[in-house]
Structure 1
Amino acid sequence: MFQLDTVLRSHIRSLTPYSSARDEYTGKEGIFLDANENAYGSVTTEAYNRYPDPHQQAIKERLAPIKGVRPGQIFIGNGSDEAIDLLVRATCTPGQDSILILPPTYGMYEVSAAINDVPVIRVPLTPAFQIDVPAVQAAVQPHTKLLFVCSPNNPTGNLIHRNDILTLLDSFDGLVIVDEAYIDFADSQSFIALLDQYSNLVVLQTFSKAWGLAALRSGMAFASEELIRILDKIKPPYNISGPTQQLLLQALENVSGKNEMVDRTLARREELIGNLLNLPLVRHVYPSDANFLLVKFDDPRAIFDYLISRQIIVRDRHRVRLCEGCLRITVGTGQENEQLLSMLKAFYETVTIGA
């Protein structure tokens, strides 16, 4: 049976967290003379002179029934990146413990490890962009604390086989972090439903993709109450601003609006796949469970530069292992996709005429 204490750094277990003024009094009414705030308001609006709820309790209460969890199983961070960094800092002793990642994958796992001087074990995905489970199990070391699985994966776009993740949850003695930033676009149940079954499971999600709130920089981590208390203990006191909390609460009142945007994105994704496959310069469009496509071209760098010159911005992934020759293309609006396709056709005609 997994015990959280086995992966936590010893000084984190005994850490006394910073106690903010809003921790000592959580009421909304009163004369607030405790936090050295400006009693006269602010130069913009009176609402911004007081510190926000450091634990985002109203958001957690509203989010919990939407996700099917308890409020105590939710961490709200400054993007999912904050949760990633806190997980590394809470568990990995610099220069001693390690994390394991499955490239090609989201780059911040490795960046957070590097910032914290934590070694990284890399076990590449198979050519089908799936986990080589025996290789992962063989690569795990006694001091490996975290295993990151991005599903749907970035930059490949595909879901990772569920049974492979379950196998790792059953066999790995550390925390398995399943990053579901793109889960709203996938026909698959979230791993959140398994939180009470696996005490070593952490699920990351975000408000940046399906919710359309990337500018707010707000992400979610779902885990056992025990681990969430640790993350709350080591995070900055007021990590989510008051205006951000207000906007998140508004967004959570409109789940149907989020779902409608997802449906439109999925329809545009299928249209875009079909149209790209009709272009002679496209060698392959990989299956996607996300709001982007990994597309293999004959000359990806030239196409990337051409699109940039026409102010159409895609992501160059052609140097990434297993993604050679590929560009990553986010699914845009119908009009944006048409402009992309038009420029790709123009590039092909230019090359053909030049030849």
Structure 2
Amino acid sequence: MNFDINNLLRDNIRNLVPYSSARDEFKGEASVYLDANENSLGSPLTKWYHRYPDPLQWAIKEKLSAIKAVKPEQIFLGNGSDECIDVLIRAVCEPGIDNILICPPTYGMYSVSANINNVKIKSVPLTPDFQLDIPAIDAAIDDHTKMIFLCSPNNPTGNSLNRADVEVLLNNYFGLIVIDEAYINFSRQPSYARDLVEFPQLVVMQTLSKAWGLAALRVGMAFASKAIIDVMNKVKPPYNINQASQDLVLKALEEVGQVNDMIRILVEERDKLAAELTTVPGVEKVYPSDANFLLVKVKDGRAVYDYLLTQGIVVRDRSNVTLCEGCLRVTVGTPAENQTLVAALKNYSK
């Protein structure tokens, strides 16, 4: 079966004539800009911010292309990965009719975005070891399942999904398969972005919020075929990444070496923290992690969470999440923060 994104699109999206901004109609440099009704006298901040930004962020995409080994035209930039999720759902899912498939426990925004867009959700829980239940997924898919969201490394469990299972889906399902790799930089697993040529229905999401430390800028990435990226650009708001964020991202992308150093330190700290937590009375299990956080099972998740708050330590209580009963999600902090956490937990257990 040949994949064609047009076969998945909602009719109104397929026929949509996107908004054409002034910066879409003119590309290049000029000495006098009188096309976009900007304030020609400038702004209180800087002379650059009175002009609209590049709506397709080509300078960033050129830099990312060299780092990620993906062609610039195969990159979509969103206002966080959340915008990537929302744009995909709005493009292909007919409200009230179509559905997406998720595998909880997983990142919550897949469901939130589907609910906002009145798109049905099929939930197929992971297995007890946090892997895909392929037979159950196959049984759940129907003619209106337009998209499967997979998170690997998975949030909140921290583990990577078995590649063989993911490839079963890639080889047999011809809706969109979206693999969220927000935490891929902390894993030894290769990115699925290298598989875009082989699987035209594949969309890979990454972010600059985690390993790159740019959470405040709200810049997410999606890698896919040019055909899929063209649709996403058609649906997104014209200027979805502001100029200040674009400037700072470009500056950060010059510092690949520093980012790699931070990744190495965080992975080392993750492993140290995992080992130390296993010695704390009351900690029942520390799950293996390929991310910058640990899922930690304790005797009474809510009680421990509340206690840590009294010590000025904020973790994430996941004890009410499917398959995560009694669990806290703990981000790997600085060495000092990690030691403060461990000391507090040991004091609680006394």
Deviation at 1:106, TM superposition (A): 0.2
Match of 2:36? Answer: 35
Query: What is the RMSD computed on CA atoms of the aligned residues?
Result: 0.7
**Equivalent residue, structure 2, for 1:120:** 121
Q: What one-letter code is carried by the residue in structure 2 that aligns with 1:309?
A: T
Cα deviation for residue 310 of structure 1 reads 1.4
Q: Percent identity?
A: 56
Inter-partner Cα distance in structure 2 for 1:112 and 1:127: 26
Deviates more, 1:75-84 or 1:3-12: 3-12
Structure 1 residues 267-291: Cα deviation after superposition (integer angstroms, max 9, x where no partner):
1001101110011110000000000
The aligned residue for residue 161 of structure 1 is 162
Give the whole-Å Cα distance in 2 for the aligned partners of 1:102 and 1:136. Answer: 9
Q: Which residue of 2 aligns with 1:152?
A: 153
For 2:26 and 2:174, the matched residues in 1 are separated by: 39
Q: Secondary structure in 2 aligned to 1:220? A: strand
SS of equivalent to 1:166? helix
- Displacement of 1:11 after TM fit? 1.3
Q: Secondary structure at the match of 2:342?
A: helix
Shift of 1:203: 0.1
Displacement after TM superposition at 1:27 (Å): 1.6
Please tell me the residue identity of whatever aligns with 1:73. Answer: Q
> Residue 349 of structure 2 aligns to a residue in which SS?
helix
SS in 2 for 1:283: strand
**Which has the larger displacement, 88-97 or 7-16?**
7-16
Instruction: Give secondary structure in 2 for the equivalent of 1:203.
Output: strand
Q: What residue is the counterpart of 1:12 in the other structure?
A: 13
Who is 2:258 aligned against?
257
The two structures have a TM-score, normalised by structure 1, of: 0.97
Corresponding residue for residue 308 of structure 2: 307
Aligned to 1:176: 177
Give the match for residue 136 of structure 2: 135
Distance apart, 1:199 and its partner CA:
0.4
1:208 counterpart residue number: 209
Does 1:324 pair with 2:325?
A: yes
Q: Matched residue of 2:88: which SS?
A: helix
**Aligned-partner Cα distance in 2 for 1:46–1:331:** 40
5+ residue gaps, structure 1, are 350-355
Q: Deviations over 1:213-244 (max 9, x none)?
A: 00000000000000100100110000000010
- Partner of residue 344, structure 1: 345
Q: Which secondary structure state, in structure 1, belongs to the residue aligned with residue 48 of structure 2?
A: helix
SS at match of 1:46: coil
Q: Which amino acid aligns with 2:287?
A: Y
Task: Report runs of 4+ in structure 1 exceeding 3 Å deviation.
Answer: none
Aligned to 1:59: 60
CA distance in 1, matches of 2:61, 2:179: 20
SS of 1:188's equivalent in the other structure is coil
How many residues in Structure 1 have an aligned counterpart in Structure 2?
A: 349
Partner of 2:186: 185
Q: State how far apart, in whole Å, the 2-side matches of 1:130 and 1:284 are.
A: 18
Identify unmatched segments of 5+ residues in structure 2.
none
Cα shift at 1:29: 2.9
Tell me the SS of whatever aligns to 1:226: helix
